[in-house]
């Protein structure tokens, strides 16, 4: 049995020597067992003697080199082990590559399938949206037609109501006439007063004055003629408690719908009923030009009475120092009585007892609305002096014609 095993080993060694196998396991078996390579035979008598001589000399030659031989054997074993590990990694890599290739092919099939489904859904959605859009367009067109019809009918009925009120005696229908007048004025406000957002931006200039109120007089602010509630909204944004009063029930209703504190009533009666020294501020924007001239002094004095120490009164009105405002823009509103001169209003403040009075010029006309100015830099030197004189005249005329559209007078109540 041993001879058969040795024969198999010898055959395996011969195969390794002949290079007929490169399996790492075979080479591992060779170096692990420290098997010796067979001595090749030679022909003839001398060949057999040489083989016997080699067999006899092999132990003598190997003994001195045992240490080197063992190192070589260990190195060969490590090398074979590394080779086996690399071949194993190669096999795993090949398997992983096959698996990834299969996954990639499957993904490509899935992507193509999902792409076809998505294209089908997109087409279905497009057709559905087109159908909905066509239906919606037709529906909105009918709704617009209905609204236009209702607008025409409403406008016609409104015009007929105004004509009837102009013909008949208004005494039997004062409430109806009053409602008609208020709605017409509301329409006038929306057309010529400006957007509420624009007005809110313009009111921001008063914040420093309202915040200068004395700490002991942080009472609420009363807005006389609060209108659509722009000032009340701005004051709420400043963190200032405020309430409003207006003679127009429609204006007050608009304020209440916005969540603002406003009531309908007479401005003078409201000021007269306020506890003296209880308010932190009184403001009124574009109201005093609607009042009779003799009542302005009473308004300022009632405001002084209602304010506490450090309280502020702010009145804003169109600027009559601008001829364009006084002669043209002012009269767009038919309820305006007469422009209020700033010097006269400042005097009323001082007579009422306000100790610090200041005038604010507000809202300059846009440059494209004003008189053009000559560019002196583009002129020859001999013409520049004349151009400067013309520009000086232009400045005087421009200030007279345009200037500022509004002004305000601010007064503080002293101790």
DSSP string, 155-213: HHHHHHHHHHHHHS-STT-HHHHHHHHHHHHHHHHHHHT--HHHHHHHHGGGHHHHTTS
Q: Report how far apart the first and last C-alpha atoms of the chain are (Å, whole number).
A: 131
Please tell me whether residue 328 adopts helix, strand or coil conformation.
coil
Q: Is the pLDDT of residue 185 over 90?
A: no
Could you say which DSSP state residue 412 is in? E
Query: pLDDT value at position 217?
Result: 53
Please give the Cα distance from 372 to 290 (Å, whole number).
Answer: 34
Between residues 115 and 65, which one has the greater pLDDT?
A: 115
Q: Is the pLDDT of residue 28 over 90?
A: no
Task: Name the pLDDT band for 238 (thresholds 50, 70, 90).
Answer: confident
Which pTM does this prediction carry?
0.55
Both tokens assigned to 60: 């003598």
pLDDT digits (tens, 9 = 90+) for 64-112: 766 776 677 777 777 777 777 787 788 888 888 888 888 888 888 888 8
Could you say which DSSP state residue 333 is in? S
Please give the Cα distance from 148 to 133 (Å, whole number).
Answer: 22
Q: Is the dihedral of CA 363, 369, 374, 375 positive or negative?
A: positive
Please give the Cα distance from 182 to 252 (Å, whole number).
Answer: 11
Give strand pairing partners of 285: 316
What the chain holds in terms of domains, given with CATH numbers, is: 2-99 (no CATH), 180-367+404-413 (3.40.50.150)
Please give the Cα distance from 31 to 78 (Å, whole number).
Answer: 10
Between residues 378 and 344, which one has the greater pLDDT?
A: 344
Query: pLDDT value at position 138?
Result: 72
Angle at CA of residue 363, ends 357 and 368, nearest 5°: 150
Beta strand 307-318 with 404-413 is: antiparallel
Both tokens assigned to 34: 């420290």
Angle at CA of residue 168, ends 165 and 171, nearest 5°: 85
222, 280 contact by CB (below 8 A): no
Sheet containing 354-364, strands listed edge to edge, beginning at the edge strand earlier in sequence = 262-264, 242-246, 221-224, 279-285, 307-318, 404-413, 354-364
Q: Length of the chain in residues, anyone?
A: 415
Nearest to 29 by CA among 52, 51, 11: 11
Which of 54-58, 76-80, 289-293, 407-411 shows the lowest mean pLDDT across its residues?
Answer: 54-58
Which of 155-164, 266-275, 309-318, 402-411 shows the lowest mean pLDDT across its residues?
Answer: 155-164
Q: How far is CA 31 from CA 28, 42, 348, in A?
A: 5, 26, 121
Please compute the mean of the pLDDT values over residues 363-375 and round it to a whole number. 73
Which of 40-49, 123-132, 256-265, 284-293 shows the lowest mean pLDDT across its residues?
Answer: 40-49
279, 312 contact by CB (below 8 A): no
What is the DSSP code string of 199-255?
HHHHHGGGHHHHTTS-GGG---EEEET-TTSHHHHHHHHTT--EEEEES-HHHHHHH
Percentage above 70 pLDDT, the chain: 69
pLDDT digits (tens, 9 = 90+) for 218-227: 689 999 999 8
Both tokens assigned to 166: 């102009």
Query: pLDDT value at position 222?
Result: 96
């Amino acid at each position: 049995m041993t001879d058969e095993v040795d024969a198999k080993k010898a055959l395996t060694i011969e195969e390794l020597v002949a290079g007929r196998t490169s399996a790492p396991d075979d080479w591992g078996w060779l170096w692990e067992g420290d098997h010796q390579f067979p001595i090749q035979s030679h022909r003839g008598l001398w060949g057999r003697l040489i083989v016997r001589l080699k067999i006899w000399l092999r132990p003598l030659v190997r003994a001195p080199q045992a240490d080197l031989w063992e190192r070589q054997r260990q190195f060969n074993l490590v090398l074979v082990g590394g080779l086996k590990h690399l071949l194993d990694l190669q096999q795993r890599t090949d398997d992983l590559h096959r698996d990834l290739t299969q996954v990639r092919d499957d993904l490509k099939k899935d992507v193509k399938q999902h792409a076809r489904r998505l294209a089908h859904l997109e087409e279905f959605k497009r057709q559905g949206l087109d159908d909905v859009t066509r239906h919606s367009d037709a529906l909105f067109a009918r709704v617009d037609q209905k609204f236009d019809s209702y607008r025409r009918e409403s406008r016609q009925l409104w015009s007929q109501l105004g004509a009837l009120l102009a013909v008949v005696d208004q005494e039997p229908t004062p409430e109806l006439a009053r409602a008609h007048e208020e709605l017409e004025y509301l329409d006038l406000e929306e057309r010529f007063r400006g957007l509420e957002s624009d007005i809110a931006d313009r009111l921001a200039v008063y914040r420093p004055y309202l915040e200068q109120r004395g700490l002991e007089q942080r009472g609420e602010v009363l807005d006389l003629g609060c209108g659509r509630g722009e000032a009340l909204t701005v004051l709420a944004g400043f963190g200032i408690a405020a309430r409003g009063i207006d003679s127009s029930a429609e204006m007050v209703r608009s304020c209440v719908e916005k969540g603002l504190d406003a009531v309908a009533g007479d401005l003078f009666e409201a000021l007269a009923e306020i506890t003296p020294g209880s308010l932190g501020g009184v403001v009124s924007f574009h109201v005093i030009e609607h009042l009779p001239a003799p009542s302005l002094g009473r308004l300022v004095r009632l405001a002084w009475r209602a304010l506490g120490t450090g309280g502020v009164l702010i009145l804003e009105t169109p600027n009559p120092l601008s001829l364009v405002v006084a002669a043209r823009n002012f009269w767009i509103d038919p309820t305006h009585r007469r422009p209020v001169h700033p010097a006269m209003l400042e005097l009323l403040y001082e007579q009422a007892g306000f100790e610090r009075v200041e005038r604010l010029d507000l809202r300059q006309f846009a440059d494209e609305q004003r008189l053009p100015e000559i560019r002196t830099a583009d002129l020859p030197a001999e013409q520049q002096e004349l151009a400067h004189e013309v520009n000086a005249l232009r400045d005087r005329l421009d200030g007279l014609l345009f200037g500022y559209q509004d002004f305000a007078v601010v007064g503080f109540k002293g101790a």
